[in-house]
Amino acid sequence: MLSAADLAELASFRRELHQFPEVSREEAATAQRIVRALAALQPDQVVTGLGGHGVAAVFNGAEAGPTVMFRAELDALPITEISEAAHRSTILGKAHLCGHDGHMTLLMGLGRLIARQKPKRGRVVQMFQPAEEDGSGAAAAVRDPRFEALRPDWAFAIHNMPGLPFGVSALKAGAVNCASQGLKITLSGKTAHASLPETGVSPALALSRLIPAISALGQVGPLGPDYRLVTITHARLGEAAFGIAPGEAELWATLRTMQDGQMAALRAAAMDLARAEAAAQGLSVRFGHHDDFAASVNDAQAVAHLARALEALGMPYDEGDLPMRASEDFGRFGQGGTRSAMLFLGVGEDHPALHNPDYDFPDALISVGVQIFHRVMRDLLG
């Protein structure tokens, strides 16, 4: 197991990552830190630039066997941290407020154990994935031509979870995270002087009608197979001036479904409403699609491996509040024949929530997460 010295060094590494956050698609320096730290572990192969700034380290066993992937995320959030900690973010407006610094550290801890005793068979792939927060990173990594040689038979991830008691896991088979997409609707008419609004074509009425109409396509409710939610996240109308009648408006909405197959229908319904309202008001309309997250679905056999590991370690778990509305792009790794599962590891019932400006990953969780990953790896690979 990890020694006290190991844990102290890992905590220091986690805090270094925390001080220098990089947001999605900008994680070049974070990836370099990972590569430098991996060098001491002497993996059999390191792949860089995977799907952007992704890094994959491969440790080979002595005999043939399955490939087991453990995944962490490289990116931080575009939020200003509120903290007096010595290791607080040094970059204004960017911070590790989702715990990805801790997730990377879990893989580094696992790597130390692997370096000291390689698996008997198969191989381990440690995947440091880019751009989770905008939903693009896992998809980009899987599309990378080099990923095929790394494609795992099994894939596992741990996400820390405030609100759960420390060290207690939420784990279940089936859907655990919703699919989601960001839809940006731009309505264009004709700007006019505010004294002569009739000489222009204003999108004001269309915008005011679309906000409730699109929201009504999906409402808060139980997370069943037919669950749909539409959240208006941003709206803009014209210029911030009293002398100008607006000629353009934007409406941003986040669409959520429990299953991937329902997303296309929800998106089409929202776009049809926007087209109809634009036509009625003499406007043109265009669409932008952003932050595309597939649903995360835990494979039953992969869940069974995680459950056995937790039971062997004497760590409590149940289904918690799963599934959850929030999205996670780890589900992309569960496509193409890979059996994948993520568990959610409690950091404390009173811990600041994910994405809050006062959140920080607790270093005490490092040992817990490494033990879980290590037990799963040994069970599968010897």
| H or E element that contains 67 | strand 63-73
pLDDT at 228: 96
Within 10 angstroms of residue 194's Cβ, the number of other Cβ atoms is 13
pLDDT at 219: 80
Q: Cβ neighbours of residue 216 under 8 Å, at least 6 residues apart? A: 230
Q: Which two tokens stand for residue 358?
A: 């006062």
pLDDT at 247: 98
Within 10 angstroms of residue 301's Cβ, the number of other Cβ atoms is 11
Q: Cβ neighbours of residue 237 under 8 Å, at least 6 residues apart? A: 203, 204, 207, 246, 249
Rounded Cα–Cα distance for residues 186 and 253 (Å): 12
pLDDT at 220: 78
330 touches 340 (CB < 8 A) = yes
Q: Which two tokens stand for residue 57?
A: 């380290």
- Residue spans of alpha helices (H) in 46-118: 100-116
Each residue's pLDDT, cut to its tens digit, for the chain (382 residues) gives 899 999 999 999 999 999 999 999 999 999 999 999 999 999 999 999 999 999 999 999 999 999 999 999 999 999 999 999 999 999 999 999 999 999 999 999 999 999 999 999 999 999 999 999 999 999 999 999 999 999 999 999 999 999 999 999 999 999 999 999 999 999 999 999 999 999 999 999 999 999 999 999 998 788 988 999 999 999 999 999 999 999 999 999 999 999 999 999 999 999 999 999 999 999 999 999 999 999 999 999 999 999 999 999 999 999 999 999 999 999 999 998 999 999 999 999 999 999 999 999 999 999 999 999 999 999 999 9
214 touches 271 (CB < 8 A) = no
